[in-house]
Structures are given as C-alpha cells and as structure tokens.
Amino acid sequence: MGGNAAATETVEISGHLMDSGVLARVLDDVLDYGCDYVIEKFDVGRTHDDESYARIGLSAHEPSSLQRLLMRLQAYGVNPVDPGVAVIRAVEQDGVFPDDFYSTTNLETVVRLDGQWVPVEHPEMDCGLLVEGSRVRTIPMSDVKKGDKIVCSAGGVKVVLPMRPHSATVDDAWHFEFMNSDVSTEKPQALLVRQIAERMREVKAEGEKLLWVAGPAVVHTGAAPAMVALVQAGYVDVLFAGNALAVHDIEAAMFGTSLGVDLSKGRGVEHGHEHHIRAINTVRKAGSIAAAVESGVLTGGVMHALVTARKPFVLVGSVRDDGPLPDVYANVIDGQRAMREHLRGVGFAVMVATMLHSIATGNILPASIPLVCVDINPATVTKLADRGSAQAMGIVTDIGLFLEQLAHQLVPDYA
Amino acid sequence: MGGNAAATETVEISGHLMDSGVLARVLDDVLDYGCDYVIEKFDVGRTHDDESYARIGLSAHEPSSLQRLLMRLQAYGVNPVDPGVAVIRAVEQDGVFPDDFYSTTNLETVVRLDGQWVPVEHPEMDCGLLVEGSRVRTIPMSDVKKGDKIVCSAGGVKVVLPMRPHSATVDDAWHFEFMNSDVSTEKPQALLVRQIAERMREVKAEGEKLLWVAGPAVVHTGAAPAMVALVQAGYVDVLFAGNALAVHDIEAAMFGTSLGVDLSKGRGVEHGHEHHIRAINTVRKAGSIAAAVESGVLTGGVMHALVTARKPFVLVGSVRDDGPLPDVYANVIDGQRAMREHLRGVGFAVMVATMLHSIATGNILPASIPLVCVDINPATVTKLADRGSAQAMGIVTDIGLFLEQLAHQLVPDYA
Amino acid sequence: MGGNAAATETVEISGHLMDSGVLARVLDDVLDYGCDYVIEKFDVGRTHDDESYARIGLSAHEPSSLQRLLMRLQAYGVNPVDPGVAVIRAVEQDGVFPDDFYSTTNLETVVRLDGQWVPVEHPEMDCGLLVEGSRVRTIPMSDVKKGDKIVCSAGGVKVVLPMRPHSATVDDAWHFEFMNSDVSTEKPQALLVRQIAERMREVKAEGEKLLWVAGPAVVHTGAAPAMVALVQAGYVDVLFAGNALAVHDIEAAMFGTSLGVDLSKGRGVEHGHEHHIRAINTVRKAGSIAAAVESGVLTGGVMHALVTARKPFVLVGSVRDDGPLPDVYANVIDGQRAMREHLRGVGFAVMVATMLHSIATGNILPASIPLVCVDINPATVTKLADRGSAQAMGIVTDIGLFLEQLAHQLVPDYA
Amino acid sequence: MGGNAAATETVEISGHLMDSGVLARVLDDVLDYGCDYVIEKFDVGRTHDDESYARIGLSAHEPSSLQRLLMRLQAYGVNPVDPGVAVIRAVEQDGVFPDDFYSTTNLETVVRLDGQWVPVEHPEMDCGLLVEGSRVRTIPMSDVKKGDKIVCSAGGVKVVLPMRPHSATVDDAWHFEFMNSDVSTEKPQALLVRQIAERMREVKAEGEKLLWVAGPAVVHTGAAPAMVALVQAGYVDVLFAGNALAVHDIEAAMFGTSLGVDLSKGRGVEHGHEHHIRAINTVRKAGSIAAAVESGVLTGGVMHALVTARKPFVLVGSVRDDGPLPDVYANVIDGQRAMREHLRGVGFAVMVATMLHSIATGNILPASIPLVCVDINPATVTKLADRGSAQAMGIVTDIGLFLEQLAHQLVPDYA
C-alpha cells in the first residue's frame, strides 16, 4: 500500500470473526475488487464466547473501485471507522438512480443525516436509499421518480451485523451456511479444460505419471475414441476402474458396429442385452484382456489401447459385477493393495464419471497429489471433497464433451 | 423377408399387447439386431380385459444374430412357435460358458428336456442354464466347472411372461414403468452436437429462421463468446430470454475484466455484488439496450452482437427480476404476445439452460417445429417433454462445452 | 359397451401404431377419462414400413366426458370417423371462453365449416379456435373478446398427425421420447408409503420374508431408530448392505452422543473424523459384530437390533471400504453367493439409499419378486429399472422421512 | 479453562489463517470434541502475502478426548507446541490396531523417533503408522500383523501443512473448496421438521405472521390436504405463489375425483390434459377465486381454504402461464409491489418447492427475517443462499412427506 494508491479508507469489524470464516471472505473480496489491504489491528477473542475486533486499511488505484468495495463489504458488517456523512443526489430521470447510488444489502442499515444515525426502513437488497425529510427507506429502481433524493457512495452509511451466537444449543441447526458452495455447474468450463490440459503437460514434462480413474460413462457417452487418443498420446500412465468400464468398452469394440445398438447412430445404450455377458465370456476364454488383444479377439477400445501402449491398469470388482473379467480383483482389499502399488510416481490424478472408484482412490492418495474430479452429477464431486480430499478440484460437466475437448487440447491431430 | 435370409423363425406372444407398448419394444429390438419381421397374424383384444395374440415371422442374414435375437425377445415373453429341443454342450474350461450359451432373463423359464418342459430353478438374469439329470437351474459364469452341461442357443427354451392385470385398483401404483426413460446423460454427446449443427445448416439453407431460447448460464459457463460467434455467423435469428441473461451478459461486458470477479480466471460468478444492479441502471439511463450500444456504453457480449447484427430479441420479465432492463416486458401476457409475433418463419428452436422460458416457448410453438432442449439438469428436459412438446429432443449436457462445440462445427474460423 | 352408455362415438387412427406405443397411450386415456372402448377393426402393418389402421368404438356415461376424451385423443391423431360439423358459440365475456370450448393441441388441425375443411392458422396448445369468416385461427384465453365466435366441443375438428418415419437413418436420434418418464418426484408420497406398508403386512401374513437392502444414508438421515423399530417389529427378515452402513451405524452407537458431532442436534455428519476407523478397530478386536454385541461393546443401532432379533445380514465389501468390519465379504463373488443363499423365501424387497447394493440385488432377484426402490436421487431408481428389474417400483423421496412414516404405519407404538 | 480440566495441551499453527477460514474450522472441531480453547497468541499477517501465527490452549475433561482432538486438528496443520515423543505399542492381534492408535491424515507427516523427526512414507488417510527400525510408513488396518510396532496417541507426531499461496494468478481455479457444503440430503430430517414446527409456534406466540411461498408440487405430491390443515389451524398467514400452484390446486378440486387421473390412486399427474385450462376458464368466468368460492364453484383445496380463512395471497404471473387466473398479477413489477406490502409483520418464511418465487421473495426479504427453504432439488436451496439470503436454512427433502409431517406436528387432530 504505497504512495500510488489514489484512495484509502480504514474499516473495522467486530464479532465472532475467528469461528465464522467471515474475515476470509472479506479479504477475498478486497482482492477481487482490485484493491489491497493491511490488517492494522486485530484483537482476538480468547475464548469462544468473546468477540474479536479487526481494523483494516484499504487502498485502491481507483476511488470508484474503493467506493464499491466499501458497499460490498457492508454485507459482512464491515464499516468505515470514519463513516463520514451521506452524499445525497437528486434523481434526474424516472426509474434511474444516480451513477454512484448506494446499493443496499438486506441487513439493518443506518444513514448519517444531519449528525444523526437514522435507521433505514424496510431493508431490501439491491435497492437505493430514498431520503424523505428525516427518514430513509429502501426504494426499488423501477419506483424511483425524478427529483427523489438518493444516498450516493458509501459515506455516511453503516450496516449493523446481526448477532450470531455460537453456542451448542438446539438452535445450531439454524447456522447452516452454504454461501460458499463451490461445486457449481455455472463455471466457464472450456477454460477449465484448458487449465487441466496445461497441468497435464507440466506433469508429463516433470517426468511424473498421470493416473486416471474412470467409470463406464466414458463408453456410454461416446468418449472412448477421445480416451484412446489420450492413451496413445501418452497422457494415461495408469488406469483404475471397475469391471463395468472394461466390459462396456470391450462390448462396444466387439459388438458396437455389428449390431443395431449402435453408438454411431446416437441411440441410447440398451441395458439387458446379452452382449456384455458374452463379451465377458469371450475374454474369460482367452484368459485375460491382454491375451484377448494378442489373439486378435479384441481389436479396439480403451483397454486395447492400454495393452498396446503397455500401460498398466487395476480393475477392482464390486458386488454388482457380472462375470467378472479375468483381470478383475474379486477381493477388494487385494484390489486396494494393487492400487497402492501404482501410486508411486503419480503427479496428477484425473477422475471421471465414477463415484465408487474416485472415493476409493481419494482414500489412498496423499494430499500432495492434486486431483480433478469430473462428473455430471454434483453429488460425486461433493462426496469426494467431503471425505477429506481437499486437494480436489471439482468440475460438474458432461464427460463426453469434456474428454472430446481435452483430446482436442492435448492430441495435435485429434479430429 | 426374401430368399436371401439365411435364417428364419416364427415367434408368438399373447397378453395385453395393446395397452402395454410391449410390441413396440419387440419390433424395435428386431431392427436393432439387424433382423427383419413380418406380422403374420394379429388377434386384437377387443376390450381392455381381453388379451391379444401376435404371430411374427423373423428373418436374418446371420443365424447367430437370429439366435441372439430369440434370446433377447424372451425378456418380453416372446417365444418361438416351435420351440424345438434344448441344445446342451459341456463346459470345456472352468468359469467359461460355451460360446453360444443361453443367457438367462430373470423371468420364469422352462426348458424342453426329453419331451418334458422342465421349470428352471432360481431364475436370475445374465446366467447360464445348468442341466443336472432331469433338473435345470441357473448358474453364474464364475461358478461353472469343466464338464458342466449348459443349455446353448435359444432352442427348447420358453419364458413365461408374468401376468399384468390392467384394472383400476389401488394396485395401479405398481405399474410404474420407466424402462424407456430416454432422457439420459449417457449418450454420445459429440455426435448429437454434429447432428444439431447439420440440422441448423439445413434450416438456414431452406430459408427458415433459427429461434434461440437461453438462460443466464450461457454467460456463467463462459459460453458468451461462442454464442456471439453463432450470432455473427447468422445462426441466431431471434432470441427469447429473460431479464437475467441480458443483465449478466451486459454486466460481464461492462465489469468482466475491470474487477476481480473474472470469467477469464475460471472463478465462480459471485452473486450479491452490486455489478448487475449498476449495469441495469446504466442501460436504463441510456433508454434501451440498442441505445446503450449506439452510445458506446455497451461494447461486447451477446446482446451487443444481436443489436449489431440487427437480430430481434424478446425479453420477458419474471417476479425475481431486479430492475428490470428497459427492454424487458414487465407484463408477461404482453411478453407472450411479442413472442408469438416472432414465431413466423421459424424452422427450428434451440433451448439452452432455461426451464422457465423453454416451457413458455414450448407452450406456444406448433408441434411442426422441431426443437432441441439442452440443459445440465435432466428435470428441465423432462418437464418440457411432459408438457406436450413431443417434438422435443433432449440433451443433458454442459452448456458451456455444448456451445463451444457447436460454434466449432458451424463457424469456420472459431478458435 | 352396453345399453346404459349415454354417449358413443367411433374413432379411427392410422400410422405406425405397432412400433410407436401410441395405441397403448390412447387406450390408457380412454380409461382415465372414465370411458370404455371396443377395438372394432385393426389392420396391422405387416412390415416395419407399412402403416396400421385401427377403428375404435368409445362409450361413456357422460356426454361431456366423451366430448373431452375426443379432444384429448386428438393429441395422438385419433379422429372421429364421422367428424360432424363444428359447433360455434359466441363469447359472452371478455377473456372467457364458452364452457365447452374446443381446447387445442399444437398439431396441425382442420375445422369443418360450411362443408369445407379449413386449416387452423398458427397451431398452439391450450388455446381456443376463433372463426373469422371462412378462416380459423388459435386464440389465447386472455385475448378473446365478447362476441368472438369460438369452436365448441369436438365435432367438426380433425387433427392431422405428423408423419413419423421409422427408418434406421441418422435421424433416429430425433425419435427420443420421454413422455412417459415415470420416475417422478411429483407423486403423492404419503399414499405410496401406506401402500408399501400394506404390501409388507401381506407378505408377512403369507409367511414370506422381507429383504432390505440399505445404504449408510439410513444412519446419516437420522432414520436408524425407525429402522430399529422395524427390525424389532419383525419387518426386516434379512439385510443386504455394505461396510459403510454397518460402520456408520456402529460409529453412531459408540460415539454418537459422547462427542459433539451429534445426530440429536441436527448437525451434519462430519466425514474425516477418526470415529469410524476406531469403531471398525473395536469390532475387529471383538471378532465380529455379534461378538461385539455379546461382549457389551455394541449396545444400540440397526446392526445391534438385527443380532438381537437373530436376523441374518450379508455385508459385501467395496473398493472404497476402510477396515473393513470382520463380517464383511472382501471377495465380492463370495458375497454374491452369500446373497443368493438368502433369497429363498423372500416375498418382497425394499431397497433404500444405495445404488451399488440395489443393483447388485436386482441382478440376482427373480422377476417374480416385487421390489420397491427408494432414493432421493432419481438416477438410482432409473438405473435399477434400466438394468432389467421391471418389477421395480421407484420412489424418489427423502429416506429419513420415508422410514419415519413407514415405522408409523407398521409399528403400533412408534413415537 | 479451569482447574477441573483433566488434560491440557498447547498447539500452534501458522499459515494464511486470515483468508483461508481454517481457524474457524479448527475452533468448531474443538467444541465438537467436547473440549475448550483459549487463544493465547495471535500474530496476524498484515498483508495478503504475510503468514499469520496462532497459539491456542486446549483443555478437556477426558484425556482420551484431547488425544483424539489433537489427531483431528493435525488435518489442518495444527500441531502441539511441545510434540513430545511417539508412544509405540506392539500389535496384539492380526488386523487390529492398539486402541489408541494414531489415525493418519493424508498430509505430509513426521514422527519423533530417537530424537529425530522421521518423515512418514506414503501418506494415506485412516491408516496406522508402522515403525520399522528408523523408518515409519502408513499401514492399513487389514495389513497389520501381531507384533507390528504402531504409533499410538498424538504425541511425537507432526503434520506439515501444504503451502497454499494466495495470489491472483491463473492457478486460482485450483483453490476450489467445497469442504463445507452444507446443503445436504444426509441430515436427520425428522428432527428438522420438529425444529421448524417449534419455530412456527414461537412466531405465532409472538404475534408475528407466517409467510409461505409455494410451488405446484405441493399439489402434485398429494400434500394439499396437509397444507389445507395448516391453513385452517392458523399456520399460514399469507401465501406467495404463481399461477401454477393455484391452477393445479383448483383443477384438483374441480376434476380430481370425477376423472381417472386420480391423486387418490397414486398415479402421476398427467400434463397436457385440458383440465387445467378449463379450470382457469371457470374461475375467469366467476371473476376471481374468492367469487368462485362464494358461488360454490370451488369447494376445496388450498386456495379455497385461504379464502375461507380470510388469509391473503399474492399470485404473480410468469411467461409460461396459461390463462392466467383473474387474481394473478400479469405485471411482475406490480406483483413485487404487492408482495412487499404483505411483508409487514412477517416473522418467519417457509418456502416450499419453488425456485422462482423463493428467489423473488428472498430478494425483497430483510435479512432479519429467518426463512427455511424446502425442496427436493438441492439446486433450489443452493441458489437461494447464493443470492445473499444468508439467513436461509436449507432442507433437501420430499415436499409431500415434509408437509405431512409438519401437519402432524402442528395440527392436533391431523390424521
């Protein structure tokens, strides 16, 4: 915070700052608004009944950024130490506020008018503050009339934070907070794909291995060709999966085009057909997936690509498996041991479309290995994180399009 | 069904064929297995208490296809008129069935042994049939031993369809059927995108208009540039939306890069910031979105692209709107009328990421106009279909990646 | 269709009736409207390129029911053989149709006026038909004015069914149909609970066993006491589950009240605490769950109730398991065999809150055993049905409230 | 922290404590484990590049609780100031750890052996620490053998927190945190219902009003009778809704039993029937819902109950509405104004099964009014919270069972 800051302000906040996480959000917002901060004073509540107090110096290159940050921070009960007096401007056009109107929160608010703190009537968010004589009330944008007096900027306005008692009573249930739910379907996904591709290239450049954990939706969504391209280009060093991924991959390779249930036509995959059980029988007869590749019985798909590229895979069974394939660990504890063996040298893990195997891998991964979990079902991503895999990045998206785009990013001549 | 069919068989089915839809599924499967059919006899149940009877001739080029189709059809209770006798082979390898083993359903089944119909013990799906003396039971693949006698092909096996009484009793709740739930996240999505792009090109080639209905997730998922490219390339003739899409698009254009809440960094869109309400105020001051473009206040985004390309849009308000923007119909009935005006000449409708406006458009669209509904939430797609828009094609996928891929397909130089 | 039918009409339909399932829906609607039918003629398309034709006699006690059924059936392209002439009435009040107004579909429609079939302009559903001279167009209810001439009843109106070619081309993707998606969250759930309770009583009365398949959400949602009450009242004869249900049940019994993470306070269950791993260690030390009950280490919960009531359970492991508990089958194929052993005598299966074990059980259940699958996640219910368990009834609801209500129904003094 | 604490320990943590929220979680866990804390020292990082440091005194009545808390806190990088030396015990039984075994995190960990800090090989969560000579590695419970030396208690073990740089780079996307996602379907729901009932009774006792915001699923899930009972018992003072709730409620009252689409049979509600449009026409003819009640046309359901009990409702239209009913505000801004009028005196808001109207109400509610949002769709609950309604309590559950249970709690003679 140096001499080139065009605008500064000192703010303060008191309350249960330590156990509410509110301070983390305040400081995040300061940076988000392109401003900077110095924590000038911090009196910490010693026990969980004590309040804390913080005084923070804010600075910005743009006075307008600072004014808007000040309004923003009021949503957390952060107010300027010197609130100043309210700036009041007249509306020039029906239904339009002055440019720098004070945009309200839904919290209790007071305005400094003529040396008095006047409480705002009817708190409502995203409104303006209308001054009528010695009273102040919220007014929606569409109701404002030419000549109305509106509070502008953040000066002379204070927000009163509601008390949040922290005590172990039945009322605890009311403390739910889900403001920071970060597993979202509303993210710029194409950008995330590029970031993941970049990370994967770095990991390979550093000589580390890429671990994939995948479910059968890779096949059902038509993404097997993209996955095959990634294997061939060296971006899959080891695969963890269950019986189902391998079975449906092999089933598609064996029957996908000879019969009418046809991925190339965009029809849904029928369950209940006998193809999968016949595919399993064929591989059991060959003895293993590798043997089926060698003998020419299996000529395409993800498992074929792994065998051909001499990349290892660990398939661990589950109680819902048919067959299973001869390569599948029927004993899950043996399967966990085999997975642990293959974690050496892994620098990054990509988990797509499988809750069971993603959680299983999350359970044995050290926290130092970053991972990305991709699923169209938000619950899978949330569950993984809830179980302690804090290094997880979650993406709620379509597996088929995700793998298609990832292949586009990583495989030069991928069509 | 001509002389070049290598294999034929006549099958029959009886039951409540008319009101169960089972016949439709049977005939679909015949085609899926690359076979053909002729309905040779059809005795229809006259009233809803009567059973119907059908005799169907099947033909195939491959005897093996026909054998597998016959097994498949038994899941519906369709059996050969002449069931023949069971072919029994000995297992040659532990845990492996003969190649042409009969793959079971979970229905009551009988096998013809020595002129007797023997009931199968413990029906279970995806198993083999083990013959022990005069008894037959299911056996899982992993339990079979060398020398075990297994029923092969479909000859000599009949399935007994469970009775399905159709009566208006309390028991009706038990008739739920969701076997054909076709709104799925497990489809080859990349292929669907190509089909939609193809359809859009055809519609334009025929001189018809493309209608888009879109929600704010288009902006939140970072897909606005893809949408802008589609507008500029002429693939958006008219847009129906609400206040939110336009607001967030304009907010991103006005504040997206100047402040820290930054789409380009892949961070989540913060709600509660005052940007959106300030963006609305700015456009209200200008008088309209077009005026904001003209005056240079609005210089990018989807709405800017539409104004620049002189493409119309209809924005209809909702009770949750802030502002709203001056272009928004606050009266929803007036909004519906405006939407109807713009349906003339539309040949195809694309609905992305909005349940409210998709249903609203579905309500006023003639059935002759095909539409595609794209949403990451299966409920939106299902709701649209449930409301009578039977011409709907539903895709459950990520909006951001979908629009990115669509732009790649349709806009030659889209990066 | 007897002499006491107050109204009759003969309708006809042609098209690809066999492979579209449309006839099933038509006949369902006839019954839903309280009417009756006789199929008078049915010319079946022999091959999949041929159209079929049906003529159906309809009867009803109420002429108004029949009139509304006739309108309803037009949505499928079913029209009266003798369409008659249109009845036209004048509107008496702005914005209000005559009582028996013809309610439109969104299909191409023609109206018989002065001996001519006049096409309706701008087909739109849920509108009226406005006659202006020799033209007819749709008009929304809110736009109608006093004196407008509106078509009433179903006479003189025909709907033209769009062609639906059935051919194995790329266009097949457009045939998605999800009108009959029957896994719904919008069902009268309290009624369903009563029906399931009734079924369970019947099964017990017939001396058959009740199989439960359950996931750990039974514990997390606070439903363990309800489940214990059901065990004690004799409504759980055998339980299939995984390691997780037993672990969290035992963890709650051992630590649930001594530490702060407290189900009784309505707080979320924390993952990552070491309680569960310590609970597993304790039971391993005892040797088995039964031994832990005997030795007094385990004194409450679902597993305790089962041991005490001498009811068997089969716990099958998965790759994500910690521990596992000594009772858990680490080998999943052994686990499947143990599950099969316990299917004898089962008359009804209840599956709650577990996709993995529900599908596993569905795989080995004969179709003759009815089952109900209860989950808050629609995907679980759909997946089960998709895999061939057609005897499944699916309920998308909250496990906690479901089990609470079921216990209220079945256990007389359940609080 | 007084003389009756049986066990105390001083711990320390350094890092980006201010902007990570980690301290809040640490202090929450202290209370959850039934322990207490005093913050003894807190050196705050002044700028966002500086680290902070905290020293915290912990106390507990039970030494074992404290030991387990210490292990727990290591997941956040909180270590004892005086780590002591590792306690090592021999395993007495294959596959079973000593009772007080140290349960691992997946973070980098070091163990104090013979005066040396030895790094743990292969960090993995929920394991034990096996000492082999001068090396320490994780070992899963199932792999431990009699005689193995295992680290016990938390003494002599330190966790090394991974660095978490907070800088505004592209890498920010990797900072996703969703560990505290509190909108969960895995809560003890029956308890929550009791808490809400309790709160509603208190609000009424204080003379404040109960506001309900409801969607049409109230009718579709069969919960209308429960809702009617709540109205009659005085627990609904004002209702906000859209056209759809009122239409389907009135449709059910008018046609629910006369036709076959019958809520009482547990069948799904059919869309596309003309009942709803005919119900609307009937009420429009009457002039208003109240007039329809008065004239005897409408004799049951939620809207009838409200009119009869003289409780106000505000119905605001949307672009997807048919009709609409004469009471519906077609102008959404007028509708918002009407809603604001009815907020006076409201002490508690219950929002069930409507995203649109819940968000609309959340937009205009002051933060001082607590609200509960109930929906089977987690997205609705999350969206409401994301928009700034931090006073929201979210429950993901089934509406039908929720209202049924709430009526049981609040209405003495509700069947």
Q: Is the CB of D178 less than 8 angstroms away from the CB of A182?
A: yes
Q: pLDDT tens digit string along A2-30?
A: 456 789 999 998 887 766 667 777 887 88
Give chain D positions within 8 Å (CB) of C99: 281-282, 285
Q: Which has the higher per-residue pLDDT, C278 or B91?
A: B91
The whole-angstrom separation of Cα C150 and Cα C100 is: 10
Report the amino acid identity of residue B48.
H
Residues 6+ apart with CB under 8 A from D289: D246, D250, D283, D298, D303, D307, D325, D326, D327
Query: Do D388 and A48 lie within an 8 Å CB cutoff?
Result: no
Helix (H) or strand (E) holding B278: helix B275-286
Contact A365, C349 (CB under 8 A): no
Report residue A115's pLDDT band, with 50, 70 and 90 as the boundaries.
confident
Nearest CA in chain C to D215: C186
Least confident of A114-128, C54-68, D363-377: D363-377
Q: Pick the residue with more confidence: B2 or D372? A: D372
In D, minimum Cα distance to B333 occurs at D330
pTM of the entire predicted model: 0.79
> Can you tell me the distance from the alpha carbon of D44 to that of B378, in angstroms, rounded to the nearest whole number?
47
Chain C residues with beta carbon closer than 8 angstroms to that of D260 = 31-34
User: Nearest to residue A222, comparing CAs of B186, B406, B377?
Assistant: B186
Q: Which residues in chain C are contacts of B393 at CB distance < 8 A?
A: 173-174, 176
More confident residue, D267 or B201: B201
What b/e sequence results for A284-300 when a residue is b if at least 16 CB atoms lie within 10 Å of its CB, and e otherwise? bbbeebbbbbeeebbeb
Percent of chain D exceeding pLDDT 70 equals: 84
Judge whether A167 and D370 are in contact, CB under 8 Å: no
pLDDT per position as a tens digit, A361-398? 988 888 888 889 888 777 777 666 554 445 667 787 78
Contact indicator for B59, B30 with CB cutoff of 8 Å: no
3-state DSSP percent of chain C in helix, strand and coil, to 5: 35, 25, 40
Cα radius of gyration rounded to whole Å, chain A: 29
Q: What is the pLDDT of residue B273?
A: 65
For residue D21, the model assigns a pLDDT of 66
Query: What is the ipTM metric for this complex?
Result: 0.77
- Residue numbers in chain B where pLDDT is lower than 50: 1-2, 164-186, 257-271, 387-389
Residues of C in Cβ contact (< 8 Å) with B106: 365-367, 388-389
What integer best gives the mean pLDDT of chain D?
83
Q: Is B163 an 8 Å CB contact of chain C?
A: no
Residues 299-358 of C with CB under 8 A from A: 316-322, 324, 330-336, 339, 356-357
Please give, rounded to a whole number of angstroms, the shortest distance from the CA of B255 to a CA of chain D.
17
B267, B332, B363: residue with CB nearest D332: B332
Tell me which chains share at least 3 CB pairs under 8 Å with chain C.
A, B, D
Residue D32 backbone dihedrals phi, psi, to 5 degrees: -60, -35
Instruction: Report the pLDDT value the prediction gives residue B345, as an integer from 0 to 100.
Output: 94
User: Which residue of D lies nearest to C105 if distances are taken between CA atoms?
Assistant: D272
Asked if C332 and A322 come within 8 Å (Cβ–Cβ), the reply is no
Mutate to test the interface with D, among C35, C127, C187 (most CBs of D within 10 A): C187
CB-CB: which of A266, A319, A387 is closest to C316? A319
Calculate how close chain A gets to D320, using CA atoms only, in Å.
Answer: 23
- Residue type at C64? S
Q: Report the candidate in D316, D340, D312 with the shortest Cα–Cα distance to residue D330.
A: D316
Question: Best-predicted range by mean pLDDT among B379-388, C281-290, D118-127?
Answer: C281-290
Q: Cβ-count burial of B344 within 10 angstroms (0-12 exposed, 13-18 middle, 19+ buried)?
A: exposed
What residue of A is the nearest CA neighbor of B30? A260
Structure tokens belonging to residue D221: 């899930």
Task: Tell me whether residues D189 and C222 touch, CB distance under 8 A.
Answer: yes
Tokens linked to A409: 């990013």
Across the interface, which of A266, A272, A356 has its CB nearest the CB of C356? A356
Measured between alpha carbons, how far is residue A141 from residues A88, A93, B244 in Å?
Answer: 16, 11, 16
How far does the CA of residue B356 sit from the closest CA of chain D (Å)?
7
Do C266 and D187 form a contact (C-beta atoms < 8 A)?
yes
- pLDDT for D164: 45
Give yes or no for A367 touching C (CB within 8 A): no
Q: Which is more confident, A26 or D200?
A: D200
Which of A187, D300, B166, B390 lies closest to C36 in space, CA to CA?
A: B166
Instruction: Tell me if chain C has a CB within 8 Å of the CB of D413.
Output: no
Q: Do D105 and A45 touch (CB under 8 A)?
A: no
List the single residue in A with minimal CA-CA distance to D394: A176
- Are the beta carbons of D319 and B316 separated by less than 8 Å? yes
Rg of chain D over Cα atoms, rounded to whole angstroms, equals: 29
Q: Does the pLDDT at position C270 exceed 50?
A: no
pLDDT value of position B120:
94
D168 touches chain B (CB under 8 A): yes
* pLDDT above 90 for D92: yes
SS3 B71: helix
Other beta carbons within 10 Å of B90 = 10
Inter-chain contact A357–C319, Cβ cutoff 8 Å?
yes
CB contact under 8 A, B23 and C18: yes
Residues C299-333 have pLDDT tens digits of 999 999 999 999 999 999 999 998 999 999 999 99
Q: What's phi and psi for D208, nearest 5 deg?
A: -95, 170
Interchain contact, A106 vs D389, CB within 8 Å: yes
Instruction: Please compute the mean of the pLDDT values over residues D52-71 and round it to a whole number.
Output: 89
Residues 6 or more apart whose Cβ sits within 8 Å of residue C358? C213, C351, C373, C375, C380, C384
> Mutating which of B109, B143, B176 best tests the C interface, going by the most C Cβ atoms within 10 A?
B176
> How far is residue B318's CA from residue A311's CA, in Å, rounded to a whole number?
55
Whether residue B285 lies within 8 A of chain A, CB to CB, comes out as yes
* Whether A124 contacts A104, CB under 8 Å: yes
Residues A282-332: tens digit of each pLDDT = 999 999 999 999 999 999 999 999 999 999 999 999 999 989 999 999 999
pLDDT of residue B21: 66
pLDDT of residue B391: 63
